Chains A and B, each alone.
Chain A
Amino acid sequence: MAIVFEKTRGLTDKETHYCPGCTHGVIHRLVAEAMEELGVLDNAIGVAPVGCSVLAYEYFNCDMHEAAHGRAPAVATGIKRVHPDNFVFTYQGDGDLASIGTAEIVHAAHRGERFSTVFVNNAIYGMTGGQMAPTTLVGQKATTAPYGRDEGTQGRPIRISEMLATIDGAAFVERVSVDSPANIRKAKKAIKECFKVQLEGKGFGIVEVLSTCPTNWGFTPVESLKWLKDNMIPYYPLGNFKKPEEVE
């Protein structure tokens, strides 16, 4: 019988530690498939963050670094400067990238570092147990915002893609979501385009992926997907913010 579907070679056989219903698994697969399809897997060096995806170095089937919290873009800078012909990517969550690592991501973009970032935004700190993130929505409850995020004292959630799109060195910026099969397909397309920008040497690229956290949001996986669609997408609009003209 002909094989019609196979797991991507971009992922190892290791069983992931992600919670049931978490979309990290889907996003891992999209990243791995994109690398395999672009033929860069054997040439890839990835950087895992601190947060839920801290163990990503066990799941991606390529060379990996485990970085300190928020420092993945600096680590990736060091890697890419030594190996300019390798494909280099970071995979970071919103605590890692949008809070403790804002300086590193802003300046990697500002220098136009030629690596790609997959930024998983689930509006909460997952690994440490549901604390408020800079991306937590106003009114959303978290273990460090038990009455809901208060705009007056905790500010409004930060929109990373819009901010990075203002930086000249950022060549590709797009926000996608994995709440539906249609959006997952669009996410895959954006990740591939972003990776191509690196391969063509056009500068820094980032794809922000809106993601769920059923465990810490306190919803079922299905409810979580709906909550993402109803609450996150209106505040974090999907779409491309920037791309080099030739990639259109």
Chain B
Amino acid sequence: MTKVLMKGNEAVGAAAIAAGCRYFFGYPITPQNEIPEYMSRELPKVGGVFVQAESELAAINMVYGASGSGARVMTSSSSPGIALKQEGISYCAGAELPCVIVDMMRGGPGLGSIQPAQSDYFISTRGGGNGDYRLLVLAPANVQELVDLVMEGFDLADEYRTPVIILGDGMIGQMMEPVEFKHESKSNLPEKAWATTGTKGQRPGNVINSLYLQAEKLEQHNIKLQAKFAKMQENEKRVETYNIEDADIVVTAYGTTARIAKTAITKLEKEGYKVGLIRPISLYPFPNEAYEKINPACKGVLTVEMSSGQMLDDVKLSLNGKMPTYFYGRTGGMVPGPDEIVDKVKEILGGGK
């Protein structure tokens, strides 16, 4: 298949359609508007349905209805809109409804900015809404990976009966890169016998629900959900590592920031520094084992984020006090440059090689 040059946001739409998604419910918000625009243009051509909802609240609840009806369905938004969707995301998690939710993060808190940020790490990886739940959270670092993760995300959503968050940022949504659509959907996915399709008089009614008024039953439900999250922990960790067995310092970053960190590492290597990289691709489950493989003589791990330090918590939990941790972050839509990371690494290493 030949590669086509696509903007990240449009590639999300194309990947979703290629993965069999035929339903999209969304609400405009910068910097992700090309996703609903693309879906409104392309879904009717393949017999799909696009609905511009009256709010993000409505959009995620339309996703709840469509997913509960057995469809492959997606919504997208950016940080303030994702905050609004948290109610519905919690209900989807509780009712075990598969769906893909794309967050092209922008600066916050509040209305914040429209420039790239990574400050939705906490609400994505910690659940975000009420109750004990986790979501699969995947963080692409380039447009091809964005395509791959959106396509695979639909399979993972169906396999685990869970919402999947694709955590990008304004930068990855807006950049253009050549992509191809090569992921092949899993053929052994479970049938959706639980979906509401009408009983046809052949079975008792199916119920899509997150309410359990008896405490014992809700606890049993939570135990079942936790077992599912444990299975995700076991099977779905994704990470890219570079030179961590031989590094004097390891930089860890995800998404756009990881790309910038790679440029910084190349520069530092030219100056003779031994710098490793850990790039988590799955943020939940967090690839903690990668941090255990770091050279024990390593002087520390520098986390770089477009936030005030959110993934940093997971890095610290993974290292469990084994080595010092450092942090460099920019916020509000400011993007760190490679030289800022180079300077921070040199500062940590005391200027010595």
Interface residues of A, Cβ cutoff 8 Å to B: 12, 41-45, 47, 54-55, 57-58, 60-68, 71, 74-83, 86-87, 103-104, 106-107, 110-111
Is the Cβ of B51 less than 8 Å from the Cβ of A44? no
Contacts of B61 in A (CB 8 A): 67-68, 71, 74-75, 78, 104
Task: Give A121 to B164 CA distance when docked, in angstroms.
Answer: 38
Tell me whether B66 and A67 are in contact (CB under 8 A): no
Bitwise interface map of B from 50 to 73 toward A, beta carbon under 8 Å scored 1, else 0: 010111011101111111111101
Q: Does A83 lie within 8 Å of B205, measured CB to CB?
A: no
Chain A residues whose CB sits within 8 angstroms of the CB of B211 once the complex forms? 54-55, 66
Chain B residues within 8 Å of A83, by CB: 69, 196-198
**Pick the contact of A79 from B65, B205, B213 — CB < 8 Å?**
B65
Determine if A42 and B87 form an interchain contact, defined as CB atoms under 8 angstroms apart: no
With contact pairs A57-B207, A75-B64, A75-B65 given, residues A62 and B53 touching in the complex (Cβ less than 8 Å): no
Q: Are B58 and A45 in contact (CB under 8 A)?
A: no
- B210: Cβ under 8 A from any A Cβ: yes
Chain B CB within 10 A, most for which of A12, A55, A61, A71? A71
B286 at the interface (CB under 8 A from A): no
CB-based contact A43/B200 at 8 Å: yes
Give Cα A203 to B49, complex, Å. Answer: 17
Option from A65, A80, A87, A107 in Cβ contact (under 8 Å) with B68: A65
Q: How far is the CA of A212 from the CA of B53 in the complex (A)?
A: 34
**Most B-side CB within 10 Å, residue of A12, A57, A67, A107:** A67
Contact call A82/B198, Cβ cutoff below 8 A: no
Q: Beyond the given A71-B57, A78-B61, could you list 20 further A-B residue pairs with CB under 8 A, ordered by the A residue number?
A: A42-B200, A57-B207, A60-B205, A61-B205, A64-B206, A64-B208, A65-B207, A67-B64, A75-B68, A78-B23, A78-B62, A78-B66, A79-B196, A80-B65, A82-B65, A83-B196, A83-B198, A103-B54, A106-B54, A107-B54
Complex CA gap A107/B57 in Å reads: 12
CA distance A78 to B66 in the complex (A): 4
Q: What are the residues of chain B within 8 A of A43 when measuring CB–CB?
A: 198, 200
B88 & A68 in contact (Cβ 8 Å cutoff)? yes
Looking at the assembled complex, report how far the CB atom of A123 sits from the nearest CB atom of chain B, in whole angstroms: 25
Would you give the shortest CB distance from A167 to chain B, in whole angstroms? 13
- With both beta carbons as reference points, the residue of chain B lying nearest to A87 in the complex is identified as B198
Contact A63 B199 (CB under 8 A): yes
Q: Does B201 contact A (CB under 8 A)?
A: yes
B65 and A76 contact, CB distance less than 8 A: yes
How far in angstroms is the closest Cβ of chain A from B303? 36
- What 10 pairs across the A-B complex have the smallest Cβ distances? A78-B65, A74-B61, A63-B196, A78-B66, A107-B54, A75-B65, A78-B62, A71-B61, A66-B209, A74-B58
Which residue of chain A lies nearest to B72 when distances are taken between CB atoms in the complex? A82
Is the Cβ of B23 less than 8 Å from the Cβ of A63? no
Q: CB distance B23 to A81 under 8 Å? A: yes
- Using Cβ atoms and an 8 Å threshold, which residues of chain B touch A107? 53-54, 58
- Write the chain B residue with the least CB distance to A85: B198
Q: Do A47 and B58 touch across chains, with their CB atoms under 8 A apart?
A: no
- On whether the beta carbons of B200 and A71 are closer than 8 Å, the reply is no
B154 in the interface (beta carbon within 8 A): no
Decide yes or no whether B229 CB sits under 8 A from chain A: no
- Residues of A close to B64: CB separation below 8 A: 65, 67-68, 71, 74-75, 78
Q: Which of B152-196 contact A (CB under 8 A)?
A: 196
Q: Quick check: is B91 within 8 A (CB to CB) of the other chain?
A: yes
A82 x B58 contact (CB < 8 A): no
Please determine whether A42 and B199 come into contact, CB atoms closer than 8 angstroms. Answer: yes
